[in-house]
Structure 1
Amino acid sequence: MQTQSLQPLSDALLQTLKKIPNNSGVYHYFDGNGRLLYVGKAKNLKNRIKSYFRFLPTLAPAPNLSPRIAQMISQVAQLRYIVVENENDALILENSLIKQLKPKYNILLRDDKTYPYLCVDLQEDFPRITLTRKVLKKQGLKYFGPFSSGARDLLDSIYTIFPLVQKESCKRGKKACLFYQIQQCLAPCENKVTKEQYGKILNNALECVENPKKILKKLEENMLQLSEKLRFEEAGILRDRIIKIKQLNPLSSVDFADIVDLDVFALACLDKRAVLVKFFMRQGKIISSTTHSIKSEIGFDMLEIYKQAILNYYANPLPLVPKQILIPFDLGESAQELEQFLHDKTGKKITIHNPKSGEKKRLCSLAIENAKEILRLEKSDNDAIAQALKTLLHLQNVPYRFEVFDTSHHRGAQCVGAMIVYDDKDFMKESYRHYLLEGKDEYTQMREMLMRRIEDFTAESPPDLWVIDGGAGQINLAKSLLRSVGVNLEVIGIAKEKLDSKAHRAKGAARDILRNESLQEYHLPPSDKRLQFLQKLRDEAHRFAITFHQKQKQKTMQHSKILEIKGIGKATQNKLLAYFGSFENIKNAELNTLEKVLPKNLAQLVFKVLSEK
């Protein structure tokens, strides 16, 4: 990637435009500083790319472009392209590069999480209902879903109320276990229930899976019984389950007669915000729905968002696929491209339809109304802070999603790193990452951690901003690594002010220094909301790193302490671990338990040493 400044719409760019081939492919636009502006795909690269430009009297944006694209073209200084065999390959490559490189003028939809399904193998004698996010390689499975939320609570409730085989291990047992004693299983292992009797119970349970509201009354009765017996903790668990099952799908009562299995995608936009709603309809009922909030400073390209939404959601194998996808927008030629992609992925013909009337039109209208209502209600107090950070730090875009990095070690030992994620309103703990690091100094450790995160961009897209706990050296390191792979991602740093070569940590008056990509320093007062916000993110990353470091240190200390005991070698240590499961359990073990594993004299010695520890 070039780092010297180039002029937009120059003669050098014009010469490149004259050499473009007629092949299918993917193209990249860069600004004068080598920053990625846009990634697009084309059936014919030459025709598509030239359509962006006017060539006489000088090179300029074409007059028929949208304001967003015209602004982007006015900044183009470099063009690169990748030739592929066909348009379908170009479609997939375009989507992959947008997710990995996060170009400035592309709208990035984060990868869809894989929604869970409930499934049952009806070919078994005594089937269990299980939760899965994958297509299981087994014939005869029946799936229910997808469930955008509450699947685990529904499944746990099913097993609380219906005496089904509770665990996979129960299938291998030959004797009735605890579940039979507490009346949560009918012990088919001892032939205490016939296949026919069990089948009737299973069918009742599956009816509750298809209509979760049927299970609520029984759960509420159980909750009240537990409360009357003063078993409030157990009652509280059922209360929480009831709440989640009620929220499972508020639209489940909406019934459309004679409609096949459908997935519905609907987008509503308002100013700099948009909401994408997805309905999953099976057998005429909306079984679940989900929403995706999107923010953009450059406006919204509805075609691009719908394309990304379909490519992201159907990229992985799904247990159940619809007969048809409804979209209240004309995708033009892209509809055929996406249908070919769907056929290649699923092996089935799935049509994409923009209904103009009838029940399907009403279904799309319902989805759009839900998206508009979410837009009306949705408001984040952090919008003002994000906008203020953009202005203060001279960022190219408003940052809504942050990734914050920190490292921790003790004299070069137990070296670990941590990444926390904050997205618009809250910490996204499911996206947190721990790293075991090999480097012995903070600079090397940071380099290792950032490179591993960059390599993971294919699985989880880049954020809007990286926040590094460190100074100019760490910022330059991050910029260099991102530039080497062409990712459009900005970096800032937050570091403690040094007084007499020591970090100043006055409680309530922390003098932290902010630095932007240009290494410009900002000394904000402790009361500044922008500083306090970034300190909150940094402190969470520090907590996450320190906690992990302490766990690693404890493991090492326990490991070395056991091996220091005379008569304990690795074989004996492994024997203890096999019995107790962890070093912590060994440390907390009673003497009589240790004597079950070790000779009496050795057990007494281990107990004494670890007790002193």
Structure 2
Amino acid sequence: MDLKTTIKQLPTSPGIYQYFDKNGRLLYVGKAKNLANRVKSYWHFTPELRPNSTLSVRITKMLHQTVSLEYIVVNSEHDALILENSLIKQLHPKYNILLRDDKTYPYIYLDNSEKYPRLDITRKIINSKDITYFGPYSVGARDILNSVYNIAKLVQKKGCLRSKKLCLYYQIDKCLGPCELPISKERYQEEVDLAVSLIKNKKLLIKKLQEKMEFYAEELRFEEAAELRDTIDKISRSEINSEIDFANNDNYDIFVVEHTELRAVLVKIFMRNGKIISSSHDYINLSEGFDANEIFTQALVDFYKDEKPPIVAPILLNMEFEDKELIEEHLSEVFEKKASISIPQRGKKKDLIALALLNAKELLKKQNSKNEKILQEVQELCSLERTPNRVEIFDNSHMAGMATVGAMVVYENGKFDKKSYRTYHLEAKDEYAQMRETLTRRVESFAKNPAPDLWVLDGGSTLLKLALDILESNGVNIDVIAISKEKIDAKAHRAKGKAKDIIYTKEETFRLQESDKRLQWIQNLRDEAHRSAITFHKKTKLKLDQESKLLSLHGISAAKIQKLLNHFGTFENIKSASVEDLTTILNKKDAKNIKLLYK
């Protein structure tokens, strides 16, 4: 069935639609309350099928590449919204805008129902009526909490009261000791009030931490002073400095977007009790153009997810967007109350938007022009569809088939994002199967952790083809390149530290000069992945050696241990195996010894 016929036969039901190019690659995912009406609005049908002249340059360009359409019918527009968001993250369509910052932000909470209340961290609503929440915090929640415990003499740990004995925290004057001493409710409440005031007033908290840091420095306790210095820095980074004070208890969640031709930045600011408590930002690559509707829709769906936040606040934006009413309906279900999304035009709320936009503009100015240049050069050299702003690099490591592991490192915005690194214990024995296992596991996690712009593999053309096949079979649209060392006499060649490396792309193979900045950039990525894989391999190998030694001490020979590993794959599987399973490999006496050892 041709494209025109498919469009004319679309149902009037809600659903999602997908545009594909001549090679079957996914170009775009969209949602619709009425599939027929929505998709037909993209097109003129006479004298021939062509894009509607009122569409944006981005969508017009996409439609000119479209040769086929697929759709999925769902029960409601709300279901279409959720499915669209999920598919964009999993499949990374070329013309959809992708936001990656969909993590859940932590809150600090106080359980007032306890006899001696204490503070802790949560990312969800606690099932109790007498909870006070503070947050959300983009960074520094744990540092704030630890700092408060360093100053206020609260019960420090959950299990402290059960011991009914004074502990070290009392001895170092960090707890009043209600586990054993007759501390009145009023006296303890003074410490609770102090803790709450420190959480609500970061300037006061930082002032007290600085006083303590100076005291440690004077006492020549430099390590403790340095720790407090780092803590102060983390707490300070979560907050935008502002003179705006509502002099009331208003709460607001502020989302603003500012953009250039190639990049946008989404800034989130959280105001609680009339004061700004934290902020964060997320860069968005605009290789195919800006779309406020896609950005705000994804940002709000991702941030609030499908769980009611501990604190529900009105939402302020800097511009209107097409799906505003749909998102309000969706969030009203999530919040279990009417959601409010507004675009302030005057007053202090407008001042909040102006402050957020000012910070967004400054963040866009901070783009690393040197890094942007090398990214564009690599994109041009390797004929990449997207500028590789976020890159995932893979390598595997093993020793004679033992302690087989995979590693993924992540490069974004000109630096390695170590929080996003992942390591994998692998069962495969040969390098090809190991890379297939690593990449397959990564693809399976795209729904939770969206796809990058580029994959880089430590390997040659065979592994490149493997990666492309895995992505194609899963309908994912991202670029891949591989880098391998030149081989002389079947051995990887490095002469006087100069790497004779070869770059493989889908279309071409490159042998660049060692001084070429593009080659050095890719080598740097590969070397970091190699370092990560080797480090994890050594750690795994050490653990395996310790486990092997333990079994050897209990009469299990090295040959028997190898048989067990060949059959069960890991020591964890050996530990969990039943006696019956173990006796398929060893005699009954050895099987019983192993079960007793790991009991």
| Distance in 2 (alpha carbons) for counterparts of 1:223 and 1:363 | 33
What letter is aligned with 1:413?
Answer: M
On the 8 A contact 2:124/2:310 being kept in 1, the answer is: no
Map of 2:164 onto structure 1? 174
TM-score (norm 2): 0.90
CA shift, 1:192, in A, is: 4.2
Deviation, 1:484, is 1.1
Query: Are the aligned partners of 1:508 and 1:526 in contact in 2 as well (CA < 8 Å)?
Result: no
Deviation at 1:357?
2.4
2-structure distance, mates of 1:426, 1:318: 34
Residue 274 (structure 2) pairs with residue 270 (structure 1): no
1:242 counterpart residue number: 232
Structure 1: 5+ residue runs without aligned partners? 1-10, 570-582, 584-613
| Contact map agreement 1:418 1:545 (CA 8 A) in 2 | yes
Q: 1:226, 1:203 → 2: CA distance?
A: 26
Residues 447 and 353 of structure 1: CA distance in aligned 2, closer, same or farther (over 3 Å): same
Q: CA contact under 8 A between 1:213 and 1:245: conserved in structure 2?
A: no
The answer to whether the aligner puts 1:343 opposite 2:347 as a matched pair is: no
Please state if 1:373 is matched with 2:373.
no
Instruction: For residue 316 of structure 1, report the CA deviation from its aligned partner.
Output: 4.6
Taking a change above 3 Å as real, the CA distance of residues 181 and 151 of structure 1, as seen in their structure-2 partners, is: same
Call closer, same or farther: CA 1:402–1:149 in 2, change over 3 Å: same
Alignment pair present for 1:533 and 2:533? no
Question: Amino acid of the residue matched to residue 308 of structure 1?
Answer: Q
Report whether the alignment pairs 1:561 with 2:566.
no
Structure 1 residue corresponding to 2:423, chosen from 412, 431, 434: 434
Residues 366, 436 of structure 1: alpha-carbon distance in 2 compared, 3 angstrom cutoff: same
Paired letter, 2:64: S
TM-score (norm 1): 0.88
Q: d(CA) in 2 for partners of 1:380 and 1:131?
A: 39
Give aligned-pair identity as a percent: 51
- The letter of the residue matching 1:296 is L
- In structure 2, list runs of 5 or more residues that go unmatched: 558-570, 572-599
Q: 1:482-521 counterparts in 2 under 5 A?
A: 482-518=471-507, 520-521=508-509
Distance in 1, Cα, partners of 2:468 & 2:351: 49
**Displacement of 1:215 after TM fit?**
2.2
Query: What is the CA-CA distance between 1:284 and the residue it aligns to?
Result: 1.7
Q: What are the within-5 Å matches in structure 2 for residues 361-400 of structure 1?
A: 361-400=350-389
Give how far 1:470 is off.
Answer: 1.1
- Secondary structure in structure 1 of the residue aligned to 2:80: helix
CA distance in 2, matches of 1:499, 1:204: 70
Q: Does 1:524 align with 2:512?
A: yes
Work out the CA distance in 1 between the residues paired with 2:355 and 2:340: 20
* Map 1:112-123 → 2, pairs under 5 A: 112-123=102-113
Alignment of structure 1 residues 441-456 onto 2, 5 Å: 441-456=430-445
Partner of 1:81 in structure 2? 71
SS at match of 1:26: strand
**Pairing partner for 2:534 from 531, 546, 551:** 546
CA drift of 1:231 comes to 1.0
Deviation at residue 79 of structure 1 after TM alignment: 0.7
Is the 8 Å Cα contact of residues 252 and 287 (structure 1) preserved in structure 2? no
Structure 1 residues 85-124: aligned runs within 5 Å: 85-124=75-114
Q: Give per-residue Cα distances to partners, 1:80-114, cap 9 Å, x unaligned.
A: 11111111111111111111111111110113222
Q: Distance between the aligned counterparts of 2:392 and 2:251, measured in 1?
A: 39
Is the partner of 1:183 in helix, strand or coil?
coil
TM-fit CA distance, 1:335: 1.6
Give the whole-Å Cα distance in 2 for the aligned partners of 1:245 and 1:429.
20
* Kept after mapping to 1: 8 A contact 2:368/2:414: no
What residue is the counterpart of 1:352 in the other structure? Answer: 341
Distance 2:477 2:421 in 1: 21
- Matches of 1:462 and 1:567 in 2, distance apart? 48
Deviation readout 1:567-586 (Å, 9 max, x if unpaired):
799xxxxxxxxxxxxx9xxx
Residues 354-391 of structure 1: CA distance to partner in whole angstroms, max 9, x if unpaired? Answer: 22223322222222222122222333421111101111
Structure 1 residues 163-172 or 94-103, which shifts more? 163-172
Q: Which residue of 2 aligns with 1:476?
A: 465
Q: Distance in 2 between matches of 1:234 and 1:257?
A: 37
| Equivalent-residue separation in structure 1 for 2:399 and 2:194 (angstroms) | 58
SS in 2 for 1:168: coil
Cα distance in 2 for partners of 1:94, 1:216 equals: 43
Q: Distance in 2 between matches of 1:567 and 1:454?
A: 42
CA–CA distance in structure 1, aligned partners of residues 275 and 397 of structure 2: 51
CA positional deviation for 1:539: 0.8
The residue identity in structure 2 corresponding to 1:96 is: S
Q: Specify whether residues 192 and 253 from structure 1 end up closer, same or farther in structure 2 by C-alpha distance, changes over 3 A only.
A: farther
The verdict on how the C-alpha distance between 1:567 and 1:78 changes in structure 2, with shifts beyond 3 A counting, is closer
Q: What CA distance in whole angstroms lies between the structure 1 residues aligned with 2:60 and 2:240?
A: 43
Q: Secondary structure at the match of 2:28?
A: strand
- The residue that corresponds to 1:158 in the other structure is 148
Aligned mates of 1:77, 1:136 — CA distance in 2? 50
Q: 1:248 to 1:447 in 2, by over 3 A?
A: closer
**144-153 vs 461-470, which deviates more?**
144-153
Question: Are the counterparts in 2 of residues 252 and 288 from structure 1 also a CA contact under 8 Å?
Answer: no
User: What secondary structure does 1:190 align onto?
Assistant: coil
1:126-149, Cα deviation, whole Å (9 max, x unpaired): 111112223323331111001112
Counterparts in 2 of 1:195-214, with a 5 A limit?
195-214=185-204
CA RMSD, 1 decimal: 1.8
Q: Distance in 2 between matches of 1:375 and 1:566?
A: 62
Partner Cα distance (2:156, 2:417) in 1? 32
User: Is contact 1:408–1:415 with CA below 8 Å preserved after alignment?
Assistant: yes
Structure 2 Cα separation of the partners of residues 135 and 396 of structure 1: 42
Give deviations 1:161-196, integer Å, cap 9, x for gaps.
121111122121111011111111111011242221
Question: Hey, what's the Cα distance between the residues in 2 that align with 1:408 and 1:567?
Answer: 30
Cα deviation digits, residues 231-258 of structure 1 (max 9, x gap): 1111111222223333342335421245
Q: SS of the residue aligned with 2:494?
A: coil
The alignment status of 1:466 with 2:482, answered yes or no, reads: no
- More moved, 77-86 vs 310-319: 310-319
Change (3 A) 1:321 1:189: closer
Matching of residue 313 in structure 1 with residue 303 in structure 2: yes
Contact 1:30 1:77 in 2 (8 A): yes
Answer yes or no: is the 8 Å Cα contact 2:309–2:335 preserved in 1: no
* Structure 1 segment 46-61 matched on structure 2, within 5 A: 46-61=36-51
- Most deviating of 318-327 and 121-130: 318-327
2-structure distance, mates of 1:553, 1:463: 30
Instruction: Name the counterpart of 1:587.
Output: none
Instruction: Please report how far the alpha carbon of residue 319 of structure 1 lies from its aligned counterpart in structure 2 after TM superposition.
Output: 4.0
